[in-house]
Amino acid sequence: MAQIKIGRPHSTYEAVVFIAIFTLIFMMTNIFMIDYQNIQSTIVSQDPFMILMLAAILAFLYKNARISLSPLRKMFLTLWGLYIGSLFLSMVVANHFVWTEALILLMVTAILFYRIPGRLIVYLIIGALISLPSLLLIGHTLNESGATLVLVFTAGLLLMPRTNRAMIFYMLPTFLVLNIITTSRTAIFTYLAIAFLQLAWINLYRTTETQRRWFLGIVTGGLAIILLIFGDSIYRFFVGYSTTGQGFNMNKFTSHRYELWATVWHNRQWFGEGHAYFNFTELIHAHNIFFDTLGRYGIIPLVLFILVLGAISLLATTKYTLGILLYFGAYIFIGLFEYNYLFMFVYFSPIVLLFIFMAYILTLREDMSDMNAAKSGK
């Protein structure tokens, strides 16, 4: 996807300090997520880490950015405010108010008021990338590790040169790590789809006819060889075991998530049932950001959540921000099968990047509006 013109961080004191801070927090939360050395028995949740991270970001913004109240930002903040207000109301109605959740939501809201400097995006992405090797400390595979790697990998594409060589050197080690730390079908499929889209953008958009033919030939031939040799294994990994003598089994295909989704949908309420909205046994949540929002917070917050994601994705639909749009797409797709929202013990760096990208999209839109106004002489 297209790169964003966010520049490169220089070897300044600011860059070193903030990259170090972000890397350390991301590493600690990765270690917590994989429960290294049974750390989850010592630390109850990741909320303190999220508060610390958001505080560091707000400190940076207070010093280096300014608050904006453009018409576009006001409209988005109104929608966001309705969403946050519905969450607060849900927590009160269902008697499951958690002050750390409320504080985090207010801190995120404060970030959305600022015009985000491009170098903050760079610091956060570099910190998230440097923290990825900590996922290798786990002694078994984990879906959450795979989803985290894929989303950070997607964010890292914003910093990569738009060349095949750079992509190869970036893709090979991350794909190797992905296969070591997870067997998640969602994570692997998403990674492959994102890598293909990025390579297609590099080789098909504004390139020579020869380069386009070479790319399409290599892709077609490569896929044919892979399917010929590994087709049966690939089918069994993604779909095969879900098919029985009675036909396709949706519950098996979704690794028994479908029953949970059906139960949550059947028990839906306007303002949810709180954190204990379902008596989970093997799965501790619905493995779906939309059904989890429905069960925990209710119908009204779910509708507003969908509107927030839809609005910010629509704002990201420009040729200058396709990389961030790709991140939003990966986030939503992974969210259909995994849980990568706020207040569980998983998915930390992807959520921080999500909120910063949301604020940055508003900033870019304002910059574009300012440029258009300058050109028109207004």
The per-residue pLDDT for range 1-45, each reduced to its tens digit, is 555 555 455 558 889 999 999 999 999 999 988 888 888 788 777
The per-residue pLDDT for range 284-309, each reduced to its tens digit, is 567 888 988 898 899 999 999 999 99
The residue-averaged pLDDT of 54-70 equals 94
The residue-averaged pLDDT of 235-241 equals 64
The residue-averaged pLDDT of 56-84 equals 95
The CA distance from 371 to 363, in Å, is: 12
CA-based R_g, the chain, Å: 21
Average pLDDT score, the chain: 85
For the chain, the structural domain boundaries read 13-376
Q: pLDDT category, 330, cuts 50, 70, 90?
A: very high
Q: Is residue 350 a contact partner of residue 147, using CB atoms and an 8 Å limit?
A: yes
Return the SS3 of 248.
strand
The per-residue pLDDT for range 101-111, each reduced to its tens digit, is 899 999 999 99
214 HSE (CA, 13 A, CB side): 9
The residue-averaged pLDDT of 333-362 equals 81
pLDDT for residue 344: 45
pLDDT for residue 345: 45
pTM: 0.90
The residue-averaged pLDDT of 216-231 equals 83
The residue-averaged pLDDT of 234-251 equals 63
Exposed e or buried b per residue across 303-328, where buried means at least 16 C-beta atoms within 10 angstroms of its C-beta? ebbeebbebbbebbeeeebbbbbbbb
